[in-house]
Amino acid sequence: MKTPDILLTPGPTPLPPQVREALARPIIHHRTAHYRAIFKRTLQGMQTVMQTAQPVCCLTSSGTGAMEAAVVNLLAPGDEAIVVLGGKFGERWQELCQAYAIRAVTVPVTYGDAADPAQVGAALKAHPSAKAVFATLCETSTGVVHDIRAIAQLTRKSQAVLVVDAISGLLADECHTDAWGIDVLVSGSQKGLMLPPGLAFISVNERAWALMERATTSRYYYDLRVARKALADDDTPFTPAVAIVVALDEALKLILGTGVAQRLEHNGQIARGTRAAVEAMGLSLFAKRPSNGVTAVKVPQGVDGKKLAALMYERSGVMVAGGQGEMAGKIIRFAHMGYITAEDLCAGLTALEEALRALNHPVPAGEGVRAAQAIFGARLSAGPAPKGGARVPS
Amino acid sequence: MKTPDILLTPGPTPLPPQVREALARPIIHHRTAHYRAIFKRTLQGMQTVMQTAQPVCCLTSSGTGAMEAAVVNLLAPGDEAIVVLGGKFGERWQELCQAYAIRAVTVPVTYGDAADPAQVGAALKAHPSAKAVFATLCETSTGVVHDIRAIAQLTRKSQAVLVVDAISGLLADECHTDAWGIDVLVSGSQKGLMLPPGLAFISVNERAWALMERATTSRYYYDLRVARKALADDDTPFTPAVAIVVALDEALKLILGTGVAQRLEHNGQIARGTRAAVEAMGLSLFAKRPSNGVTAVKVPQGVDGKKLAALMYERSGVMVAGGQGEMAGKIIRFAHMGYITAEDLCAGLTALEEALRALNHPVPAGEGVRAAQAIFGARLSAGPAPKGGARVPS
């Protein structure tokens, strides 16, 4: 077994050398001026990345922990909430509501489709007592980006707060938290932020804080009232994942050095190039409203999707994600997040072409990469962190 | 502001070079045979370290997350539980019970004292319906190690399960989970395991699993029923802190290479040496039953404890912990966990002597280190991981 040379999975995503160097530093203590200064700076950087002037809380957990924090801090057992489905992560909101006895009114979405904002509006009208709408920016399992802007506009007309899972969408798809009126935004470290998994982030506006002060669901580790108080001292209620926070400081230098807008532009470009390549290879995209964070490709009929992904890894050292749950074997997914470059995707597309050929599904030689290149153009390597440079053990 | 040269805080504790190198490696995906093999091996190693044949679940969170997992998986609102106090971490069990509407019967313990097991026995007799006893191995805030063996013997006579917080005690103080009859043991990564914070561990025996299947407290991220099922595939329900798990694999090579018994012996020796040094300097120990994980030293009258710790850092680059909460300024604490060596403690004791002198509290020159050396003896550097060796960025 080898470490994949080119990791194209939608989290964890590859780490820049600067991040790997930071992870390898001697550990520092978190209740020191040195650490507090780093923590303060990173949370300010996260406000820029999350496009909000609201405070951002940092949790030591997977992204799911921040999703749970949103549910348990906003609602009480018996409360009603609208949940937008459409994939594994939309369903996670539903599961969280079920676990905490929240009455979830679901907006069903066929896998591969984006939610129809009008359906969310209709659900809000039919359930005027709903306190929250739970939605997903990029539905990683299908490669769809939902129209959060439109959903926010409709939610704004109700009393409900809008909570958006941007775990994989942050820094990949447009997400104007304050400008669009997203009340709570959730994200995680192992996607666009180019870090290992272990940190989660949640921004909360005044409208949502008001609910949090009144919510009665039991909570302790994820009690955001306590986390918010600790922010005043640039502190967290419990020992934070110090090493990942220190690495976040380096990642933010790279991201903010180029800027969020350019980061999004780069991501859009490599995603468009990948989509063009897939179609030039005679394959089909799975998502009807594709995210720039991940491209889901339908496995052609007669090809075993699990074998296809395995072969790409064995032959070319390229690791892509397959489908999850009932999508297993039916799609493969190329991530575009974070430190993934156009070059990585050229390698991934070539690996796909070769693996398809080996599985007796020939595709025109080189057409995929040619179509991608036409879009990647002179902007190859335009990512926020050019590869090479810092020397770290590998 | 500089990175402390010698970190003697009770978590995070210093990282061995082998761990730092592992943290700096390219990230790997967690749903691969490569990762699953590492994860399986580390959980087997954790069984050895936690001295249990029971399954160990790994959570991406601070140690407090695993404490919360114990509470929400074992109990239902309105249930009764015995909570052994005596410091900040005993009180954390009480706070968790309060947050989840568990009726906590507290066993009060004066700070610096160890719990009287007979009092726990009396509480169990007075409250025969109590479903759990929550206790602490090493109470990090006071430097006390509680007599868990005796508490376990008494708990065994009741229907209650014994849940022990060994976050800072693991690998420092004796803890025979199965042999003593501890039903649930909780720990964290950033102490004796020589890792950054971000992972927590919880071992659960059959007696406790039976309660977990019946408990009705709402839970999702910390639902151990789901975590246990995932263990069958060497998996976790949510994306784990991959980089720290990979580093755990390296840390366990060091720990299991020398063996848990020798690790405990080393820790006992450097703790005894430190205690002898403190008394030779004319100072007093705070803990009546001192842990081998951390030594709490009373700040002599007339000396400002906060200034003392600050001066040790400024003059000598040695970082110790002060007191927490109402202990602030009254004690300083030297950790002995993990990668901390006798040499580190000699430097720390010298820093203490010099800082006391600078604060007009003269202590006999060199007597502390001389007393420590008599106990450290030929075993200096007998830790599980000799310093130096691997080359990593610093």
- Helix, strand, or coil here: B394? coil
pLDDT, tens digit, for every residue of B59-110?
999 999 999 999 999 999 999 999 999 999 999 999 999 999 999 999 999 9
Residues 6+ apart with CB under 8 A from A120: A82, A84, A107, A133, A135, A151, A154, A155
Q: Tell me: the pLDDT tens digits for B259-281?
A: 999 999 999 999 999 999 999 99
Q: How confident is the model at residue B377 (pLDDT cuts 50, 70, 90)?
A: confident
Residue B387 reports pLDDT greater than 80: no
Q: Is B114 helix (H, G, I), strand (E, B) or coil?
A: coil
Global confidence as pTM:
0.95
CA distance A15 to chain B (A): 7
- The predicted pLDDT at position A391 comes to 32
- Which residue intervals of A50-176 are DSSP H helices? 63-74, 88-99, 117-126, 148-155
pLDDT of residue B392: 36
The Cα–Cα gap between B80 and B97 comes to 9
CA pair distance B52, B180, nearest whole angstrom: 10
Number of residue pairs across A and B with CB atoms under 8 Å? 203
Contact A5, A317 (CB under 8 A): yes
CATH number of B6-12+259-379: 3.90.1150.10
pLDDT number for residue B3: 55
Q: Which chain A residues are within 8 Å of B15, Cβ to Cβ? A: 26-27
**Residues 284-313 in B contacting A (C-alpha not used; CB under 8 Å):** none
Report the SS3 class of residue B101. Answer: coil
Report domain extents, chain A.
Answer: 6-12+259-379, 17-257
| Cross-chain CB nearest to B29 (options A7, A30, A222) | A7
Determine the distance in angstroms separating the CA of B312 from the nearest CA of chain A, rounded to an integer. Answer: 14
Within 244-283 of A, beta carbons closer than 8 Å to B belong to: 244
Q: What does the longest C-alpha to C-alpha distance in chain A come to?
A: 62
Please say whether the beta carbons of B171 and B264 come within 8 A: yes
Q: How far apart are CA A319 and CA A311, in angstroms?
A: 10
B218 — contact with chain A (CB < 8 Å)?
yes
CATH number of B17-257, picked from 3.40.50.720, 3.40.640.10, 3.90.1010.10, 3.30.1490.190: 3.40.640.10
Q: How far apart are CA A284 and CA A278, in angstroms?
A: 7
Q: A29 to chain B: which residues are within 8 Å by CB?
A: 4, 7, 9, 12, 319
* Residue B52 neighbours by CB under 8 Å, 6+ apart: B177, B178, B182, B185, B203, B205
Test B61 with A64 for CB contact under 8 angstroms: no
Count Cβ atoms below 10 Å from residue A122 Cβ, excluding itself: 14
Q: Which residues of B touch A24 (CB under 8 A)?
A: 20-21, 23-24, 392-393
- Report the length, in residues, of chain B: 394
Selected for mutation to probe chain A from B71, B97, B221 (highest A CB count within 10 Å) is B221
SS3 (DSSP) at B229: helix
**Which of A2, A24, A198 is opposite residue B198, by nearest beta carbon?**
A198
pLDDT one-digit tens code per residue, B305-362:
999 999 999 999 999 999 998 899 999 999 999 999 999 999 999 999 999 999 999 8
Measured between CA atoms, the residue of chain B closest to residue A197 is: B241
Window B:65-84, CB contacts with A under 8 Å: 65, 68, 77
Residue B242 has what pLDDT? 98
Q: Distance from A286 to chain B by nearest Cα, in Å?
A: 22
Of B26, B197, B394, nearest to A15 by CB-CB distance is B26
Going residue by residue through chain A, which has 394 residues, state the pLDDT in tens, using 9 for 90 and above: 455 589 999 999 999 999 999 999 999 999 999 999 999 999 999 999 999 999 999 999 999 999 999 999 999 999 999 999 999 999 999 999 999 999 999 999 999 999 999 999 999 999 999 999 999 999 999 999 999 999 999 999 999 999 999 999 999 999 999 999 999 999 999 999 999 999 999 999 999 999 999 999 999 999 999 999 999 999 999 999 999 999 999 999 999 999 999 999 999 999 999 999 999 999 999 999 999 999 999 999 999 999 999 999 999 999 999 999 889 999 999 999 999 999 999 999 999 999 999 999 989 999 999 999 999 985 544 444 445 433 334 3
pLDDT reported for residue B5: 84
CB atoms within 10 A of CB A302: 8
pLDDT value for B394? 37
Inter-chain contact B239–A23, Cβ cutoff 8 Å? no
CB contact under 8 A, B1 and A68: no
Contact state of B61 with A65 under an 8 Å Cβ cutoff: yes
Q: Which residue of A has its CA nearest to B216?
A: A99
Burial class (CB in 10 A: 0-12, 13-18, 19+), A113: middle
Collapsing DSSP to helix, strand or coil, A137 comes out as coil
User: pLDDT per residue over A130-139, tens digit each?
Assistant: 999 999 999 9
Q: Which of A94, A90, A118, A116 is nearest to A104 (CA)?
A: A94
Q: Write down the pLDDT at residue B368.
A: 97
Half-sphere exposure in the Cβ direction for B105 (13 Å, CA): 21
